């Protein structure tokens, strides 16, 4: 398990070294730090180690780094996090502990929320709670996809659902 976690950390940092996009609060903060220090970030001794699985394996075993999957392509570094099943994307988009390297889960979650919103509207069961839940889920997924430069067409929220949402 430690080896798998260290491989994930290494993969994420290699993506950043190759100027690939990483979303999530921790991913965006790391990219911002890298951009401040410029092209030499991974050439420096301390930061170059972040591209090695041996480095991350040592950090994980020493309990100075933690990683758990919260969804495919989405990882949390907070040991206290309880989101390991049934995650709420709205809580993960800018979370200071999250790395998001793939938009697949976000896109699937968005499609489910769009379908459920339209179905609830069609069957007459749409209420404020459902409208809010599904629209938040759609917008959070779209934010992740946007952060990862994933092409998609923004969802146009139906007027009936918009009327149920608090806009102030």
Per residue in 8-41, pLDDT (tens digit) is 999 999 999 888 989 999 999 988 888 887 767 7
Of 14, 3, 1, the C-alpha closest to 57 is: 3
pLDDT in tens, 109-161: 999 999 999 999 999 999 999 999 999 999 999 999 999 999 999 999 998 89
Per-residue three-class SS string for 110-158: HHHHHHHHHHHHHHCCCCHHHHHHHHHHHHHHHHHHHHCCCCCCCCCCC
Of 154, 138, 143, 153, the C-alpha closest to 28 is: 143
105/15 Cα distance (integer angstroms): 19
Predicted model pTM:
0.85
What residues form DSSP beta bridges with 23? 100
């Amino acid at each position: 398990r430690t080896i798998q976690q260290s491989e994930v950390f290494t993969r994420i940092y290699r993506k950043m070294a190759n100027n690939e996009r990483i979303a999530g609060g921790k991913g965006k903060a790391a990219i911002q730090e890298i951009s401040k220090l410029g092209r030499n970030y991974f050439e420096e001794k301390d930061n170059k180690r972040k591209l090695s699985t041996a480095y991350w394996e040592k950090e994980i075993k020493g309990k100075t780094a933690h990683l758990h999957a919260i969804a495919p392509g989405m990882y949390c570094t907070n040991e206290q996090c309880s989101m390991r099943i049934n995650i709420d994307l709205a809580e993960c988009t800018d979370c200071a502990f999250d790395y998001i390297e793939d938009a697949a889960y976000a896109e699937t979650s968005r499609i489910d929320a769009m379908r459920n919103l339209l179905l609830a509207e069609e069957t007459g069961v749409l209420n404020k709670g459902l409208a809010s839940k599904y629209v938040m889920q759609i917008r959070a997924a779209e934010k992740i996809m946007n952060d990862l430069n994933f092409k998609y067409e923004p969802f146009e929220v139906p007027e009936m659902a918009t009327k149920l949402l608090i806009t102030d």
